[in-house]
Structures are given as structure tokens and as C-alpha cells.
């Protein structure tokens, strides 16, 4: 993922939150699956997607922190 480091803090923060919420939803779905009904391929796909979303969210939160410093945002 490429991050526009000149983007506004609020925009970057929103993108990070979107990815975090999507990852949480995937992991919730995974936790609701009965182990006897789950296909290993499906579980791997969900886990991989959640990992990528969380990795993106982490990178975006780091970029948001830098943008907040650049913009002088307090309590970011």
C-alpha cells in the first residue's frame, strides 16, 4: 500500500479506522464459525485478509501520527 504522506491527519486516521473495522469484522466472523463447518482454505483466506488489513491499519496509524505532528494536532 502506498500512503500519501502529505494527506491530512483526519483522512489518514479515517482510512486506518476503516481497515481496522474491516479486520475486526473478519475476525468476528472467523470466531463465529464452527470448527467442524469451516474449510481450512476459507480460514486461511480470512486470516490472511485480516492480517493485511491490520498491517495497513498499523502503517496508516503511524502515518497519521506523523501527519498530526506536522499539522500540530493535539491528543492525536
- Whether residue 7 contacts residue 67, with contact meaning beta carbons closer than 8 Å, is answered with yes
Q: What is the pLDDT of residue 4?
A: 94
Does residue 76 carry a pLDDT above 80? no
Is 4 part of any domain? no
Alpha-carbon gap, residue 14 to 61, rounded angstroms: 9
Q: What is the pLDDT of residue 71?
A: 95
Handedness of CA 44, 50, 53, 59 (dihedral sign): negative
Is 3 part of any domain? no
Question: In the chain, count of helices (H) and strands (E)?
Answer: 2, 0
The count of structural domains within the chain is 1
Is 75 part of any domain? no
pLDDT tens-digit profile of 10-53? 999 999 999 999 999 999 988 888 777 778 888 889 899 999 99
Q: What is the pLDDT of residue 55?
A: 98
Domain limits for position 58: 9-68
Is 37 part of any domain? yes
Is 26 part of any domain? yes
Alpha-carbon gap, residue 17 to 15, rounded angstroms: 5
| DSSP state, residue 76 | -
Amino acid at each position: 500500500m502506498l500512503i500519501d504522506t502529505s494527506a491530512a491527519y483526519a483522512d489518514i486516521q479515517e482510512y486506518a479506522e476503516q481497515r481496522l473495522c474491516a479486520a475486526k469484522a473478519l475476525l468476528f466472523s472467523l470466531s463465529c464459525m464452527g470448527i467442524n463447518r469451516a474449510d481450512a482454505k476459507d480460514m486461511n483466506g480470512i486470516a490472511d485478509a485480516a492480517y493485511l488489513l491490520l498491517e495497513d491499519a498499523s502503517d496508516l496509524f503511524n502515518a497519521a501520527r506523523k501527519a498530526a505532528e506536522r499539522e500540530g494536532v493535539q491528543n492525536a
